[in-house]
Chain A
Amino acid sequence: MLEVRSLRAGYGRAQVLHDLHFSIAAGEFCALIGANGAGKSTTLKGLAGLLRPIGGTVQFDGEPIERLPAARILRAGLALVPEGRRVFGPLSVRDNLQMGAFTRLFPRKDPGTARQFEFVLETFPRLRERLDQPAGTLSGGEQQMLAIARALMSSPRLLMLDEPSMGLAPLVVQQVFEVLANLARNGLTLLVSEQNATAALAFADHGHVLEAGRIVQSGTARSLRDDPKVREAYLGI
């Protein structure tokens, strides 16, 4: 579904990603493991169109998307939940969700959004109770749920999440990953970046390890969990 070839990206003159190669098959729950500063966010921003890659290609369902603006990539079916949640604090939960469907509400309203709204609230029942509350008043876990729900409002086929566990209590991390696993079981393709690999590798079925802007290891989640180097560096065992 996603083919990343020789992706190079960076900020100004500082190149961060060096010839990144990896692919994700449809229906896969894929983890991108890496330490702080390894380039996880840069990778996901490059895929989502927030950052124009320096070189390389990204194919989504066979179509090149590396030169498209963020809105077009979103319309193509690829959504990103940004690092640190980034909910629209002063806007209500309902408005946050509608903004997630912005490309389907403006300029023309797509009737499918109402159905997606219901689906998202069934996935996150807590949000239904808080629909008219400003998003800034939610707890960290609820904000993460809202950020995921907002991204789902565009009905993506590939959902990317940048460190969804960041700053959350272990129990809440567990809940977040259970929701993700559920979405994966229903056919959604997922790419989750994580520094703390324990949760990610427990739920994902594939993984790529990123070090200093290069993929140094790829395989099934099980093989990575059992790998001594990964165990030492990312699982703290």
Chain B
Amino acid sequence: MGQLPNLLLAGLSTGSVYALVALGFNVIFKSTGAINFAQGEWVMMGGMVAAAGHAAQWPLGLAVLLAVVTVMVTGILSERVILRQLARPGPLVVTLVMIAIAICTKSLVMLVLGKNPASLPGFSGSTPIDWGGLRIHPQTLWIIGITCLVMVGAHAFFERSILGRAMRAVAAQPEAAALCGIDPRMAMALAFALAAATGALAGAIITPLTLTSFDYGTVLGFKGFSAAMLGGMGSLPGALVGGILLGSLESLAGGLISSHFKDAVAFLALLLTLFLRPAGVLGKGEVERV
């Protein structure tokens, strides 16, 4: 006994990271209708840049900030330099372009930062905290705390701020939003900036637990995508629920059945969602976009 709580806690922390990645997928899906295949690469890049910053003797906090800013700029540039040149890109075109951008991002990171795995120390060291039988890596608490903050912040942004509500207006009725003077390109640039920033943050906070390397993005992207589908593509609470659910399932399957089984769980969850509940656990079957 005592194994189950530890497994669930581990699930909660990887699940939090999946939730952040899923949030990025959802923000871009809402604003373009496309699946952003570069999301996973942004996560990887976040971890790699933070690790490089740390290796160059930057303080940890600054290294993480550097990662978030660098990846955010990459996201904005992807939108500015490539997507904006296309006249009214449809979801399929955006999706294809993002696949190309994903491949370029990965190569770029490999060329600049190298092929070796990189690591970061835990933000508060790595001496496990013993908490009534629960052995908690302090980074776990950082991950859960930061995820909570980001989720609350994202909720406040989309519900309260004028820009966040304008982004939802563009997603619901692009033409009417344009008639209100909301520039659809501004909304799109903002979506890319937000998705890239949350992706980078996710990559930076998980690296102390897992290491990272240039080819790490595909798997994380796939996990985040599965989590987003599981919770309901386009739904903010769905990202949280889907991420936590997927993280816990994985951790339980890995601990109780076999660690070989771990990665298959996301694939199974994705297939089951597509078969049984394509709109996701929290999806109402309505899609705001047409």
B263, CB-defined interface residue at 8 Å: no
Contact with A along B165-204 (1 / 0, CB 8 A): 1101100110111111111000000000000000000000
A75, CB-defined interface residue at 8 Å: yes
Which of A93-101, A117-125, A196-204 is near enough to bind chain B?
Answer: A93-101
A127, CB-defined interface residue at 8 Å: no
B residues near A80, Cβ cutoff 8 Å = 179
A91, CB-defined interface residue at 8 Å: yes
A213, CB-defined interface residue at 8 Å: no
B163, CB-defined interface residue at 8 Å: yes
Residue of B at shortest CB range from A86? B176
- Among A82, A91, A99, A147, the residue within 8 A (CB) of B182 is A99
B166 touches A106 (CB 8 A): yes
| Count, chain B residues at interface, CB 8 A | 18
Residue of B at shortest CB range from A71? B181
A residues near B177, Cβ cutoff 8 Å = 88, 99
- Among B173, B179, B288, the residue within 8 A (CB) of A50 is B179
Shortest distance in angstroms between A113's beta carbon and chain B's nearest beta carbon?
11
Contact with B along A22-64 (1 / 0, CB 8 A): 0000000000000000000000000010100000000000000
Residue of A at shortest CB range from B165? A95
Using A50-B178, A103-B181 as known contacts, say yes or no to A98 and B162 having CB atoms under 8 A apart. Answer: yes
Cα distance A71–B163 when bound, in Å? 15
A88 touches B173 (CB 8 A): yes
Cα distance A179–B268 when bound, in Å? 57
B residues near A151, Cβ cutoff 8 Å = 179
A75 touches B172 (CB 8 A): no
Cα distance A99–B165 when bound, in Å? 8
Cα distance A89–B171 when bound, in Å? 10
Residue of B at shortest CB range from A48? B179
Shortest distance in angstroms between B180's beta carbon and chain A's nearest beta carbon?
5
A70 touches B168 (CB 8 A): no
Using A71-B181, A74-B180, A150-B180 as known contacts, say yes or no to A106 and B172 having CB atoms under 8 A apart. Answer: no
A90, CB-defined interface residue at 8 Å: yes
- Among A74, A75, A89, A105, the residue within 8 A (CB) of B179 is A74
A192, CB-defined interface residue at 8 Å: no
Cα distance A118–B168 when bound, in Å? 24
Cα distance A74–B176 when bound, in Å? 12
B175 touches A50 (CB 8 A): yes
Q: Which 9 A-B pairs rank lowest in CB-CB distance, beginning with the nearest?
A: A86-B176, A71-B181, A103-B181, A74-B181, A88-B172, A88-B169, A86-B173, A102-B180, A99-B169
- List residues of chain A with CB under 8 Å of any chain B CB: 48, 50, 69-71, 74-75, 79-80, 82, 86-91, 95-96, 98-100, 102-103, 105-106, 147, 150-151, 154
- List residues of chain B with CB under 8 Å of any chain A CB: 162-163, 165-166, 168-169, 172-173, 175-183, 288
